[in-house]
Chains A and B, each alone.
Chain A
Amino acid sequence: MIAVLDYGIGNLRSAEKALLKVGADARLVTDPDEAALADAIVLPGVGSFGACVSALRNSGMHHVLYDAIAQSKPLLGICVGFQMLFSESEESPGVAGLGIMDGAVLQMPTKEKLPQMQWNRLNVLHPDTSLMFRNLKSEELWFYFVHSYAAYPIGGLENPTVAAYCDYGGDVVAAIESGCLWATQFHPEKSGTSGLALLSRFVAFCEGVRQ
């Protein structure tokens, strides 16, 4: 079972429904004990970094994430669910993130409008080895973004965990892939067939890990 963590923010229904659409046994989970039993975790996030982190901590579900990392359970962070993996964000100074990834979350230094609220095309960094993006054609690499802040892992695009980036008046990290930890700045659950294809790859990866 894949647990989509429901910690009381925004539209989480789409993430659950998109996973169901690609054949996953997914459900919205509000109880940390139930989430701890899942084979894999999806951490969605919309709204501000601070609001998401405090809602997550209040729900007690942050422990589930640390346990998932320790147990090498597949984890997919989406949007602010990606940003929360870092220890802090410029959006909400003084609010401690999860500290699972090294780097910073900063407002995008771009002359373009903020938020970036559009479909954008990804550039895949390791097309031969990326489980997320292997063998996709460029017209299949359009995904939907809504964000003003972005993750800057240490080393930038040279960081081996960075799987893809997009251009928004500068390079923006769009996805990371580090063993069992996957995360996207875009919303796969809102990216039509491309998004469903990515979720389907995550589900297949989870099944592979479980066996």
Chain B
Amino acid sequence: MGRVVKGTQFVDLQDAGDPVALSKFYELHGADELVFLDITASSDERKTIVDVVRTTADEVFIPLTVGGGIRSVADAEIMLRSGADKVAVNSAAIARPDLISEIAERFGNQCVVVAADVKRGDVGQSSCSGFEIYTHGGRRPAGIDALEWVKQAESLGAGELLITSMDRDGTKDGYDIELLTMIREVTSVPVIASGGVGTLEHFLEGAQAAQADALLAASVFHFGQIAIEEVKEYLASNGLGVRPPRT
């Protein structure tokens, strides 16, 4: 079976446990959705993630997004038939953007999450905003500007954007508010903020300052620093509408 791992700026991976057990734990504690991103995603390991999705979907009844290695409509279909509700596409969509529209036409826009790993760099030929797209688990610069890419992804039928700041990933320095704000300004599809949460205030910044529609966190939950109930109570006490955790 696969394992849950979490790194810092996409490297130095630490083991965080069994994916099915963690999923059940998070559902019990009030998570609204789960995202699995398969970071191995080589073809011989594909079966592992399918098994994890299948086992999780048999026992966990909240929306599940699965990404990593989705290269075709057939790959997407395998995940959806295994129990995923949405698929996240990343490298393969950058290599061949029509993948987004193909999956959207077959299963609906709501099924397609475009995940983008974004890193700050110099403003230059490949990036006029200073935010650049990376692929292959953050190893390769794609030579594409992040804002241009999300606009294209939206026009091709992306139902949601999962924006991960590589600079902030695992640092607990907070979401990259500037990045998320710029993304928000150029698209109207829901944005999931990802990368950098370390405190309760960071969640609130993501929702208010960055106007993100959904807040993703990994490290702080996996390593027990913040409980989902605390986040929800904190956001609710600051006037945000959240589904209350079960008491």
Contacts and interface: CB of A to CB of B under 8 A. Distances in A.
Interface of A: 10-11, 13-14, 17-18, 21, 46-48, 113, 115, 117-119, 121, 139, 142, 144, 146, 189-193, 195-196
B85 A190 contact: yes
A190 B61 contact: yes
Interface stretch (B37-45, B76-84, B121-129): B76-84
Contact of B32 (A11, A21, A119, A195): A119
A139 B30 CA distance: 12
Contact of B61 (A46, A121, A195): A195
Contacts of A14: 57, 61, 83, 85
Contacts of B32: 119
Contact of B190 (A10, A21, A117, A139): A117
Contact of A13 (B62, B81, B107, B188): B81
Contacts of A18: 61
B107 A10 contact: yes
Main secondary structure of the interface of A (DSSP, over half): mixed
B92 interface: no
B108 A48 contact: yes
Given A192-B62, A195-B61, A119 B243 contact: yes
A17 B58 contact: yes
30 contacts: A10-B80, A10-B107, A11-B80, A11-B81, A11-B85, A13-B57, A13-B81, A14-B61, A17-B57, A17-B59, A21-B59, A46-B107, A46-B111, A47-B107, A113-B188, A113-B190, A113-B213, A115-B159, A117-B159, A119-B243, A142-B243, A142-B244, A144-B62, A146-B110, A189-B61, A190-B63, A190-B85, A191-B62, A193-B246, A195-B61
Given A14-B61, A146-B85, 14 more contacts: A10-B108, A13-B83, A17-B58, A17-B61, A46-B107, A47-B107, A113-B213, A115-B109, A118-B213, A146-B110, A189-B61, A190-B62, A190-B85, A195-B61
Nearest to B188: A113
Main secondary structure of the interface of B (DSSP, over half): loop
A43 B83 CA distance: 17
Contacts of B107: 10, 46-47
Nearest to B242: A119
B117 interface: no
